[in-house]
Amino acid sequence: MKYVLLFVETEEFARDLEAMDEAAREAAFEAVGRWFAEHSAVITHHAHLRPAETATTVRLGGGDALVTDGPFVEGKEVVSGYAEIEVADLDEALAVAKSWPACPIVEIRPLT
């Protein structure tokens, strides 16, 4: 089965990352790199997203589309990246997600 893992940053996580000294931040990024290497057999694609403030949102319905700069909602959580994986089942997807070393939330969605 194919799933997408959505990596979700919280405001607290972003603050903690920003407060780290350079060595700690580098170690955190290296842990993410190791995670991708360790799971390379099941990861079919992945990307890091630019910050939410770089988003453009299109709201549809009721006439003309409304285009605005920035994220679609003000929130304390934002998707910062994703990985597409191909695994046997949800249990295996959960095992991969539980080993994620960075953002404190990973949403798992099946792909069609």
- The pLDDT of residue 74: 61
Q: Spell out the long-range contacts of 25-32 with Cβ–Cβ below 8 A and sequence spacing 24 or more.
A: 28/101, 28/102, 31/101, 31/102, 32/101, 32/102
pLDDT at 66: 84
- Asked whether the predicted pLDDT for residue 33 surpasses 80, the reply is yes
pLDDT value of position 52: 84
Residue 24, CA distances (Å) to 21, 45, 89, 97, 107 in order: 5, 27, 35, 22, 26
pLDDT tens for each residue of 55-111: 888 888 888 998 888 765 566 888 999 999 999 999 999 999 999 999 999 999 999
Q: Which of 4-8, 47-51, 63-67, 68-72 has the lowest mean pLDDT?
A: 68-72
Contacts for 31 with CB less than 8 Å, ≥ 6 apart: 101, 102
